[in-house]
Homo-oligomer: A and B are copies of this chain.
């Protein structure tokens, strides 16, 4: 690769000199090449490859005010982010969609409160054109920071304030958690289960709350026995513990709806350790239908949500929003809620 005499990377100027044209013309060629004579364009293209020219992104975004990157903010204080395949799948969907649009993915992990400031500063500094934000808990300060930074934002999972009327109306992608939960619990009932427990996620997340509401719906009009409700915190260990608690509080239970596959894997272990056979003694239904669900013993009946697709939808929504801001500011976009579907295997 040929460099400029100054030893750094070649600049537009260098390419222009080599091609015998002005900077402006090179710029035009590099950015699409419209309105440049074929012969000149070819000359410039050759100069570009000869010199190994790559536009300097800082200089470009300084003037265009766009960075060609989107920040993905994951706010999980716990080790959960990487233990749960959920995030991975979603990231994958996002990554696919963004690379198709030649947009870069910036991953910002926020674990501590201090990280939160850092993330806020980062967003405000204009490193990204938009934000995808995940797995918010109630009272999370991040949405406010995103709002303050003025960046278009799409949420993964309905934010808590979405329907309260307070705050701006957020753009989000979610699955119909409540309906999925209803399907799961109805399925257990149809199989003859009478004492159906639930292991929930942290209830300050809407997805966890919605699934619990779905559980209630399916039992209505009867009110659920509070001894049949335990919080598993969306982790495998939490699932183990919650299951143990349930067995102690309600030894006669014959079904469990576990609000994530990861927790369900823990619950299955506890059941096995207590000598309960699945599905003969206790029916178990999970939620997510991530790969490991099919690998448990017995294979897990669960509620499928296409997580990768949700990631893709989030990215797509944000990209549309970015384009809309540039071209048709009035355009109203709306949130997406995808359907959930029961997948029956052997656990319940």
Which A positions have Cβ atoms within 8 angstroms of B?
1, 9, 52, 54-59, 61-62, 67, 69, 72, 79, 81-83, 85, 87-89, 91-92, 95-96, 99, 102, 104-109, 111, 115, 118, 121-122, 124-127, 148, 150, 236, 265-266, 269, 272, 291-292, 295, 297
Contacts and interface: CB of A to CB of B under 8 A. Distances in A.
A105 B99 contact: no
Copies in the complex: 2
B115 A55 contact: no
A345 to B, nearest CB: 14
A67 B57 CA distance: 10
B269 A124 contact: no
Given A58-B61, A62-B59, A106-B104, A115 B127 contact: no
Contacts of A124: 9, 54
B85 A83 contact: yes
Nearest to A237: B291
Contacts of A115: 99
A92 B295 CA distance: 25
Given A57-B125, A121-B54, A92 B81 contact: yes
Nearest to A110: B99
Contacts of A126: 9, 54, 56-58
Nearest to A72: B107
A291 B58 contact: no
A62 B62 CA distance: 8
Contacts of A104: 106, 108, 122, 127
Contacts of A87: 82
B105 A236 contact: no
A59 B62 CA distance: 6
13 contacts: A52-B148, A54-B125, A54-B126, A56-B62, A56-B126, A58-B58, A58-B59, A58-B126, A81-B92, A82-B89, A82-B92, A95-B109, A272-B297
Given A99-B115, A107-B105, A125 B55 contact: yes
A122 B62 CA distance: 17
Nearest to A63: B58
A266 B295 CA distance: 8
